[in-house]
């Protein structure tokens, strides 16, 4: 899943980014509210971690304006102030949850997982197709009785495919969700990673699950 972190304290932003990437999330980080808002308007994110006090556009205005555009991306708001008024103001602007600084990363992660489950159409933590099963909590994958060892990017690809099974995904769509906004779509890196994933998921099995749609992209489905 792809997360946008909007936090002007660079040390805090790096801390959040590192922790989320270790949990196999794809993370974009910006330090300015206006830039973050522009990205939230134009890019597709599964959730936003948003500081209240930001240069350019504060978190309250950011959230209110995003909701006015009918965008329902889950927002976890971070605030250095613990007063009831601050918390109410954040929730009233349209935020889904708040966390007071300083915080333990484990709590941020738990709250984020809760928001992602709440916003997902499929709230299960187990994703499957045929005999392939992916546990999104333990990040472990199996096909029949064989464990599949995945790198962080391979895991992100597999999860994205399983959440969009039977849907043809273009290379551009895959790049937007699995790599950050600096990714050069002119490279063949996506094809390389998908071939690596295909070797792990399909090699040795009669039924293939990852298919190339010539001139369009890829699809995960049962034949």
Using a pLDDT cut of 70, give the percent of the chain over it.
90
Q: pLDDT tens-digit profile of 128-139?
A: 999 999 998 788
Q: pLDDT tens-digit profile of 175-200?
A: 877 876 556 656 788 889 999 999 99
- What's the rounded Cα separation, in Å, for the pair 75 and 189? 31
Domains (range + CATH), the chain = 2-119 (3.40.50.2300), 126-220 (1.10.10.10)
Query: Residue 119 above 80 pLDDT?
Result: no
Query: Residue 51 above 50 pLDDT?
Result: yes
What does R_g of the chain's alpha carbons equal in angstroms? 19
């Amino acid at each position: 899943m792809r997360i946008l972190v909007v936090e002007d304290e660079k040390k805090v932003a790096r801390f959040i980014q590192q922790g989320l990437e270790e949990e196999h999330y794809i993370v974009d980080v910006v330090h300015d509210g206006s830039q973050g808002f522009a990205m939230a308007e134009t890019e597709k994110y599964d959730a936003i971690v948003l500081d209240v006090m930001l240069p350019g556009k504060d978190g309250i205005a950011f959230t209110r304006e995003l909701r006015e555009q009918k965008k329902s991306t889950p927002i976890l708001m971070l605030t250095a102030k613990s007063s009831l008024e601050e918390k109410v103001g954040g929730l009233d602007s349209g935020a889904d949850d708040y966390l007071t600084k300083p915080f333990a990363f484990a709590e941020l992660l738990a709250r984020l997982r809760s928001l992602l489950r709440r916003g997902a159409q499929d709230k299960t933590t187990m994703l499957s197709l045929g005999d392939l099963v992916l546990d999104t909590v333990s990040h472990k994958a199996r096909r029949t009785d064989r464990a599949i060892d995945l790198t962080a990017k391979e895991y992100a690809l597999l999860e994205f495919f399983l959440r969009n099974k039977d849907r043809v995904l273009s290379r551009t769509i895959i790049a937007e969700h699995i790599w950050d906004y600096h990714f050069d779509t002119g490279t063949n890196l996506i094809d390389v990673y998908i071939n690596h994933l295909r070797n792990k998921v399909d090699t040795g099995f009669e039924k293939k699950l990852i298919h190339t749609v010539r001139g369009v992209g890829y699809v995960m489905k049962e034949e």
